[in-house]
Amino acid sequence: MGRIAYVNGRFVPKRDAMVHIEDRGYQLADAVYEVWALFDGLLADPEGHFARLERSLAELRISMPMSRRALTLVLKEAVRRNRVREGLVYLQVSRGVATRDHAFPTTPVAPSVVITVSRVDRAATEARAAKGVGVVTTPENRWGRCDIKTVGLLPNALAKQKAREAGAVEAWFIDDLGLVTEGASSNAWIVDQDGTLRTRDTNANILRGVTRLSLLDVAREAGLKVEERPFTPDEALKAKEAFITGAGSLVLPVVSVDGKPVGDGAPGPVAMRLRRLYIERAKATAI
Ligand code: PLP
């Protein structure tokens, strides 16, 4: 973990990094966040993450705390000060500090901004991808605006804990129609028996994953057939392959669902190829 955090205009040692007890992010989850993967010290998929940050903030009527250009400089300075080359950058922006009241503050408050940087062991994550991971299913119980990347993640945290207790790495939410929406911190994909890539469409109540969006491009460029169409856990079990995407997982093969094997129970060639192609592209376009 990096040792230096950015809090409201200052770089401080993490042990001294504090937010106010009446920060609305802390009390009401009135805050949004973004996570960038870092490759060789550079931010992956910059455009997608900045665009989604601006959208999340606009949906909640929180102002962008600084220009995109200034924010890029601060993020990069946080990376530099932590001397992290391979890792993740976390940004959180809350509506700010105000006496507790559900409705917005009546006088203007400045958004609170926090940035942390953490290291990722790429060799370990490659080894994990080569083995594949298990997922468990869990009923969809989140609010109706999962397209906004808010810090209100309690259902996701509980789902992830369920996965961990089952020896799995991710939980897939299943909606009332029996369809997979997405993972607790990733988007869900299969390669069906026709070789078509399938992932849930963004009219559904899911986060519009930046990795998902980039991978749609990568897959089409690679000549694969892609459909933004839902699938059931049973279809995942009958599929050739399954995988998840996210800034943390990148492209990670899924080899079991609720303890039952997907395909032959090993990472598939399509997922492994897409992982390689995605990482190549992310490195080439990182800033
Ligand atoms: N879905 C959820 C619920 C997430 O929390 C995340 C990432 O944190 C994703 C999908 C993947 O999004 P991205 O590819 O932008 O990291």
Rounded to an integer, what distance in angstroms lies between the CA atom of residue 263 and that of residue 275? 18
108-135 confidence digits (pLDDT tens): 999 999 999 999 999 999 999 999 999 9
CB 186 within 8 A of CB 209: yes
Label residue 70 left, alpha or beta by phi (over 0 means left) and psi (-120 to 50 means alpha).
alpha
232-248 confidence digits (pLDDT tens): 999 999 999 999 999 99
Rounded to an integer, what distance in angstroms lies between the CA atom of residue 270 and that of residue 276? 10
Same domain for 233 and 167: yes
Give me ligand 1 centre to Cα 99, in Å: 31
Count of C-beta atoms within a 10 Å radius of residue 20: 15
Rounded to an integer, what distance in angstroms lies between the CA atom of residue 100 and that of residue 102? 7
Distances, alpha carbon 106 to alpha carbons 36, 93, 100, 180, 251, in Å = 33, 19, 12, 40, 44
**Cβ(56) to ligand 1 under 6 A?**
no
- CATH number of the domain at 21, please: 3.30.470.10
Same domain for 204 and 84: no
Q: State the pLDDT at residue 1.
A: 63
pLDDT in tens, the chain (287 residues): 679 999 999 999 999 999 999 999 999 999 999 999 999 999 999 999 999 999 999 999 999 999 999 999 999 999 999 999 999 999 999 999 999 999 999 999 999 999 999 999 999 999 999 999 999 999 999 999 999 999 999 999 999 999 999 999 999 999 999 999 999 999 999 999 999 999 999 999 999 999 999 999 999 999 999 999 999 999 999 999 999 999 999 999 999 999 999 999 999 999 999 999 999 999 999 99
0.95 surpassed by pTM: yes
Same domain for 130 and 44: no
Give me ligand 1 centre to Cα 213, in Å: 11
Same domain for 131 and 108: no
Which of the listed residues 100, 120, 140 is the one where a domain comes to its end? Answer: 120
Q: Is 215 exposed, middle or buried (0-12, 13-18, 19+ CB in 10 A)?
A: buried
Same domain for 161 and 276: yes
Which of the listed residues 88, 120, 152 is the one where a domain comes to its end? Answer: 120
Count the domains in the chain.
2
Structure tokens at 19: 């937010």
**Cβ(247) to ligand 1 under 6 A?**
yes
**Cβ(246) to ligand 1 under 6 A?**
yes
Q: Which of 207, 212, 217, 218 to mutate to test the pocket of ligand 1 (most atoms within 8 A of CB)?
A: 207
Domain that holds residue 24: 4-120
Same domain for 18 and 135: no
Structure tokens at 178: 């029996």
CB 135 within 8 A of CB 249: no
- CATH number of the domain at 200, please: 3.20.10.10
Q: State the pLDDT at residue 204.
A: 97
Give me ligand 1 centre to Cα 247, in Å: 7
Q: Which of 92, 180, 187, 189 to mutate to test the pocket of ligand 1 (most atoms within 8 A of CB)?
A: 187
Structure tokens at 37: 């993967």
Pairing of strands 87-94, 31-39: antiparallel
H/E run at residue 170 = strand 170-174
Same domain for 164 and 102: no
Distances, alpha carbon 153 to alpha carbons 45, 63, 141, 146, in Å = 23, 22, 11, 10
Going by CA atoms, what residue is nearest to atom 9 of ligand 1?
186
Which of the listed residues 102, 120, 138 is the one where a domain comes to its end? Answer: 120
Which residues does the annotation mark as catalytic?
149
Atom index in ligand 1 nearest the CA of residue 48 equals 15
Give me ligand 1 centre to Cα 156, in Å: 11
148: phi then psi, degrees, rounded to nearest 5? -95, 130
